[in-house]
Chain A
Amino acid sequence: MEISWLQAILLGLFASLSSMPGMGGSSIGNYTLGRPLIGGLVCGLVLGDMTTGILVGCAMQTVYIALVTPGGTVSADVRAVSYIGIPLAMVALKSYGLDATTEQGAALATSFGAMVGTLGTVLFYGTATINLVWQHMGWKVVEKRDYHKLYLVNMGLPWISHLICSFIPTVIMCKLGENVVNVIKTTLPMDGLAMKTLFTVGSLLPCVGIAILLKQIVKSVADFVPFFFGFVLAASIGINLVSATVVAGLFAVINYRIKMVAAKRVEAGGSDYEEEEEEI
């Protein structure tokens, strides 16, 4: 499977739109096009194999399900995961003759995505650094009171940052992809220790993604209970994700009602207290 120039250019364009800080704006860019699941759909459509694209995207999505960037520090770059990692993983799967529906296929995709994603943080810092130049021009514009140029500074010039840090790296990596995959294939045999490690890493990495998310929502040990409840729903009872969400919704509604009753009681209790004070 070879990626043509036109396909590489299209992927480069999506990389420019989808990164954080991207030209698509964060709702449409980073949080839509940048998600590996959506990246999988886009890459699949561009490369002409939608099913494989989505399967690869799904596998990588688990690792990056909660890509929170508090204070603008990133541990992985979505443009690299979605528009370099996914195409390369698709090429690798084809080259190895693996089916994306199998566990091995998903593991290969995941380790490729994580590798590229981690290296891709360089692109994030690169973009943010080049943007400093435009911002410097922006302060000049503010000084001169030529405020309309702010639009150019904020929404136009960063395209140059993305040409350098998103578009070109994506095009080059996608074009080189097949060769790189072939080198890996010839130097590292499938049943060797290195490949076994790579595939095992692929199956372990999603744990980090889930753990990052748990870090956000678990404040005390009791907060683990909903997580394990959901785990049991799927692992032991075998309920699918859409149904699990419905069950989860019911518990959320119950919790909300209880909390609101408690809150009202506090309010009522508070006003009683005030009345007593007045009587005294």
Chain B
Amino acid sequence: MEKKLSKKALSKSFHNWYYGHLTCFSQEHMQTFGYLCAMLPLVEELYNDEDEKAKAMNTYTAFFNTEPQLGTVVVGITAGLEEARANGEEVDEETINGLRAGLMGPVAGIGDSLVVGTVIPILLGIAMGMSTGGSPLGAIFYIIVWNLFAYFGMKFMYFKGYQLGGKAVDFLIGAQGEALRESVTMLGGIVIGAVSATWVSVKTSLQLVNDAGEPYLVLQDKLNEVFPGLLTAIFIIVCWFLMAKKRISPIKVMLLLVVVAFVGALVGFFDPGLAY
């Protein structure tokens, strides 16, 4: 009789992954143990023989690490493959691990830029807008929207992976997926621009004073006449240039900014206007 995974086992497998993919993270094995826990309910349902169980579980002791939200699709795909293997189809350990190793990289790349680099910043941008002035509304908005998105999105990915197998990934890297990703990235770019202009404020206090002690050139005002927020934009572009083009780590760029701030405060370019 053909073996078919029950809804209950699949659901347990999904929830094990949803919660446990990173709980026991280490630099050496990363998400491997999360993966083992996700596969366990499936293996237990598919096999009765202890040796078969061990053979199946050993498949998933291979190293695994990807962007966990989008990576759920990989777990779903292997659920389908394990079911096929239990039914005597031509699926062996090499097929499964080859597929897992092959998908880890691309899925991490898409997931990092789409989920962590775009969806979360957009939601946070909106939430920060709603929380201006200290209102809890934005924070609550983020908690609800992100978690619904993450839970149901991951569930969708898991079951799509299980049903469609490798085809589920075609959507992600196919023409429609690419168009969608590019558009979401554009949306993200615009929102981040608005977030920068709203929340980042680099200002100079430099001014030239005439004999009577009245300022005749306030640099910040002049800069704003050229382009409002010019100094903020310049600092962002410089940081981007240092990290993206010069490959300097974020921590080193932060230290550099400490030096810039010190020199700037020393010569009077920056003055936060502190007083008791």
Contacts and interface: CB of A to CB of B under 8 A. Distances in A.
A177 B19 CA distance: 33
Contacts of B186: 226, 248, 251-252, 255
Contact of A191 (B190, B191, B274): B274
B98 interface: no
B20 A155 contact: yes
Interface in A212-265: 212-218, 223, 226-236, 239-242, 244-245, 247-249, 251-253, 255-256, 259-260, 263
Contacts of B191: 230, 241, 244-245, 248
B139 A211 contact: no
Contacts of A256: 179-180, 182-183
B210 interface: no
B268 to A, nearest CB: 10
Given A128-B26, A259-B179, A260-B176, A70 B112 contact: yes
B154 to A, nearest CB: 7
Interface stretch (A4-12, A86-94, A143-151): A143-151
Given A234-B198, A255-B183, A226 B261 contact: no
Contacts of B243: 208, 211-212, 215
A190 B276 contact: yes
Interface stretch (B53-61, B78-86, B88-96): B53-61
A170 B193 CA distance: 34
Chain B: number of interface residues, binned into ranges: 35 or more
B175 A21 contact: no
Interface stretch (B3-11, B115-123, B157-165): B115-123
Contact of B187 (A153, A216, A249): A249
A54 B134 contact: yes
A118 B193 contact: no
Interface in B57-83: 57-58, 61, 65, 68-69
Contacts of B237: 211
Interface in A144-177: 145, 147-148, 150-151, 153-155, 157-158
Interface string B124-136: 1111111111111
Contacts of B135: 54
The secondary structure that dominates the A interface is: helix
Nearest to A69: B116
A226 B188 CA distance: 8
Given A27-B147, A191-B276, A203 B201 contact: yes
7 contacts: A58-B131, A61-B199, A62-B199, A125-B27, A154-B34, A204-B260, A206-B200
Given A26-B21, A50-B134, A244-B190, 12 more contacts: A25-B21, A37-B128, A37-B138, A134-B24, A139-B61, A154-B33, A200-B264, A206-B199, A206-B200, A235-B197, A235-B228, A256-B180
Interface of A: 20-23, 25-28, 30-32, 35, 37-38, 40-41, 44, 50-52, 54-55, 57-59, 61-62, 65-72, 75-76, 100-101, 103-104, 107, 114, 118, 125, 127-129, 131-132, 134-135, 138-139, 142, 145, 147-148, 150-151, 153-155, 157-158, 190-191, 193, 195-201, 203-208, 210-218, 223, 226-236, 239-242, 244-245, 247-249, 251-253, 255-256, 259-260, 263, 266-267
Interface of B: 18-30, 32-34, 36-37, 40, 43-44, 50, 53-54, 57-58, 61, 65, 68-69, 108, 112-113, 116-118, 120-122, 124-136, 138-140, 142-143, 146-147, 150-151, 154, 175-176, 178-180, 182-203, 227-229, 232-233, 235-240, 242-244, 249-251, 253-254, 257-258, 260-262, 264-266, 270-276
